[in-house]
Amino acid sequence: MDITAKHLYTPFLIIFLSVLAGCGGKGPESEAELAVQGFLSGALSADGRYAAVGSIHHGGSLWDVVKKERLFNWNHAAGEMSSIRAISFSGDGKLAATTVEDTIVLWEVVTGKSIAFWKAPARVLAIKLSQDGRYAVLGMNNNNAMYFDMKAGSRVFTFPHQAEVRSVDLSGDGALGITGADDLTAKVWDLKTGEQVHQFTHQNQIKTVAISNKGKYGFTTSQREDSIIWDLKTGEPVLTLPNRYTNFTMARFSDDESKLLLGSFQGVLTVLSVSTGNVESTWQAKPRKAYGGASSKAVVSAVFSAKSGGVIALMTDGMLETFEK
């Protein structure tokens, strides 16, 4: 099914636009520096316990979020500071994967040990591990995405696009995957058969996609264009966010599929209700510097925290920030 993005507005959306434009919302409750010059990449485990980051000058590392302590250095070769461009935790938080160019290393979180090393067919731009870490969806610069068996080190399916694939996600139940590319399309895939289920077409390059835990909803957003929540059973839009001035750098559905957490290039974090479109919470990240190096506050990764209504986020300036409702 091929659907072009439509403009379907609901009454709450003017409020949503005002929230984003005004950058309103509370600042962080706590902050911790995890990288001196900022991040190339970063990911938080689903439970918010761990953060894995690729820093600009100091390679990869795993951190304890609560204690704000570095646990392990994670680099792809001994004695080097690897430029890690993509990171993902398994849904259960027991494994993590890091990528450097076309290489993928699978790590055991508790011990910090590398347990597998693979080469992909091309440079990996995005990666998402399955719930148990057995499989991953890879977005690559050869105009393909791939469903990859992390245990066997082999391709299961190849998912074609017409340009670089920059964002990927898969449902918690492992049934569906979603890929977003510079060819203006996002595609939903059946991970059991490898068949394409839906194609959503925007007018600009797609940088961020997400899929909910049981595959009920998908989310797509492109530069300078409306962002859309899709019903993945029907392929129809559920909610359209008319946002032409804010680029979303991350998106994550809550486990019960009722909420969507969005992070923007401007450092705004927003939680909204999928069913009503109401904005339930909004926060503004605090940049470490007002200008120059390490001044960016774009959201790299964010998860819902154990505290009801709160979130934890990694920012491009190298900071870990926690927010409470």
pLDDT band at 289 (very low <50, low <70, confident <90, very high): low
Q: Strand, helix or coil at 19?
A: helix
* Half-sphere CA count of 157, side-chain side, radius 13 A: 16
pLDDT band at 237 (very low <50, low <70, confident <90, very high): very high
Better pLDDT: 242 or 17:
242
Strand partners, 51: 44, 63
- Mean pLDDT, residues 44-67: 96
Q: Which two tokens stand for residue 126?
A: 């995005």
What pLDDT is stored for residue 21 in this prediction? Answer: 44
Q: Which two tokens stand for residue 287?
A: 């940049």
What pLDDT is stored for residue 83 in this prediction? Answer: 96
pLDDT band at 20 (very low <50, low <70, confident <90, very high): low
- Asked if 170 and 149 touch (Cβ cutoff 8 Å), the reply is no
Better pLDDT: 80 or 100:
100
**CA Rg, the chain, in Å?**
18
Q: What is the pLDDT of residues 154-167, one digit of tens each?
A: 999 999 999 999 99
Q: How many CB atoms lie within 10 A of CB 192?
A: 11
- Mean pLDDT, residues 246-253: 93
Percentage with pLDDT > 90 across the chain: 81
What pLDDT is stored for residue 291 in this prediction? Answer: 59
Percentage with pLDDT > 70 across the chain: 90
Helix (H), strand (E) counts: the chain: 1, 29
Q: Please tell me the pTM assigned to this model.
A: 0.92
Diameter of the chain by CA atoms?
56
Better pLDDT: 8 or 221:
221
CA distance 114 to 44: 18
The CATH architecture assigned to 2-323 reads 7 Propeller (2.130)
pLDDT band at 290 (very low <50, low <70, confident <90, very high): low
The residue to which tokens 């007018």 are assigned: 203
CA distance 107 to 96: 5
The answer to whether residue 323 scores a pLDDT higher than 50 is yes
What pLDDT is stored for residue 270 in this prediction? Answer: 96
Write the DSSP string, 114-156.
Answer: EEEEEE-SS-EEEEEE-TTSSEEEEEETTSEEEEEETTTTEEE
- Mean pLDDT, residues 80-100: 97
Distances, alpha carbon 185 to alpha carbons 57, 188, 201, in Å: 34, 10, 5
Helix (H) or strand (E) holding 22: helix 13-22
Q: Which two tokens stand for residue 128?
A: 């998402």
- Mean pLDDT, residues 51-73: 96
